[in-house]
Amino acid sequence: MIRLSIPLRQALAKLTLPVLFTVSFGVILLGKLDVMAAQRARISLADALAPIYATLAGPLANVRAGVEDVTGLFALDAEVARLRAENARLRHWQAVALTLAARTRALEADLHWIPSPAPEFVTARVVADAGGVFARAVLLSTGPNHFIRKGQIALSDGSLVGRVTDVGSRSARVLLITDPNSRIPVLLEGSGSRAIMVGTNGSRPRLIFWSGAAPREAQQVVTAGIAGSLPPDLPIGTVHYTAANVPEVVPGADLGRLGMVQIVAGGLAGLSAPEAVAAPPASPGGPRPG
């Protein structure tokens, strides 16, 4: 080790902080100049951590479930009453759904309807937050040799949750529909009017630029297959007004606590992109038809 005189050492120690401040401005510039480099660094760090978090996810979920079981004991009566009421309601809707399904089948047979192909998907575990304080995104652990690509969409409980924005070798990042950068063209079922759904960083994205009639409370919101950016008619949620003239969408999926998400392969309205043709055949652990 080089021996420095005490005054020199003290002077150097005093200089460290100003030098580091200067370097940090350099880091800011670097982050602005080469956005992709920063993104690559983030995703390689995520790649390194995703397997560790994926290993932890199982035990942690068990602990959480155990805690919920214990706390749930206190609300058991209310829960049973609620489930009974819901069950009665759902039985009614099941009867309606069965009748409608039979009628739809009959009509489709009459029309020689060509069904849209069922989308293929892979399922991945959400292992960490990937948005930070000011964004809404999640990190998926995908394992090596996955076939997830940028722009593919993520579903949970059958509802749209977001789109894949970054793909690493063992992880992928999904930008949620609640993120301020998220813009999704949607269709309001029933009225057929279109709108854009924008994220607000809150739990409910907002509808803007609607065509025709204003969105109604409890109206179903589905994706609009405009410009082939998304498969059409994927459920997103229902319209809800918390303030006058501010229609919001209550997502069908619980975005705050995503456990597993399905990444739908091929994105272009049922068409496969050229590179997606080489997707692997359905295997027990891999993609399977939905």
Among 4, 12, 56, 260, binds another protein (CB under 8 A): 56
The yes or no reply on residue 132 touching another protein (CB under 8 A) is yes
Query: 233 and 225 in contact (C-beta within 8 Å)?
Result: yes
* DSSP codes joined into one string, 24-60: HHHHHHHHHH-HHHHHHHHHHHHHHHHHHHHHHHHHH
The yes or no reply on residue 126 touching another protein (CB under 8 A) is yes
**Shortest Cβ distance from residue 19 to another protein (Å)?**
9
Residue with token string 């192909």: 117
The yes or no reply on residue 2 touching another protein (CB under 8 A) is no
Span from 50-58, 73-81, 225-233, 242-250 in contact with another protein (CB under 8 A): 50-58
Mention every residue, 6+ apart, whose C-beta is less than 8 A from residue 227: 185
Taking the C-alpha atoms of residue 259 and residue 140, their distance in angstroms, rounded to an integer, is: 10
Taking the C-alpha atoms of residue 36 and residue 157, their distance in angstroms, rounded to an integer, is: 33
The four Cα atoms 90, 93, 97, 103 give a dihedral, to 10 degrees, of 160
Site for another protein in 167-206 (CB under 8 A): 180, 200-202
Among 4, 11, 45, 218, binds another protein (CB under 8 A): 45
The yes or no reply on residue 57 touching another protein (CB under 8 A) is yes
**Shortest Cβ distance from residue 34 to another protein (Å)?**
9
With b meaning 16 or more CB within 10 Å and e meaning fewer, what string describes 10-38?
eeeeeeeeeeeeeeeeeeeeeeeeeeeee
Query: 177 and 251 in contact (C-beta within 8 Å)?
Result: yes
The yes or no reply on residue 161 touching another protein (CB under 8 A) is no
**Shortest Cβ distance from residue 142 to another protein (Å)?**
15
Sequence-ordered alpha helix ranges (H) in 74-182: 76-111
β-sheet bridge partners, residue 155:
160, 262
Among 24, 62, 104, 242, binds another protein (CB under 8 A): 24
Task: Show the site string, 238-257: x = touches another protein by CB under 8 A, - = not.
Answer: ------------------xx
Span from 21-29, 111-119, 208-216, 220-228 in contact with another protein (CB under 8 A): 21-29
Task: Tell me which residues touch another protein (CB under 8 A).
Answer: 1, 16-17, 20-21, 23-25, 27-32, 38, 41-42, 45, 49, 52-53, 56-57, 60-61, 64, 126-135, 137, 180, 200-202, 256-257, 259
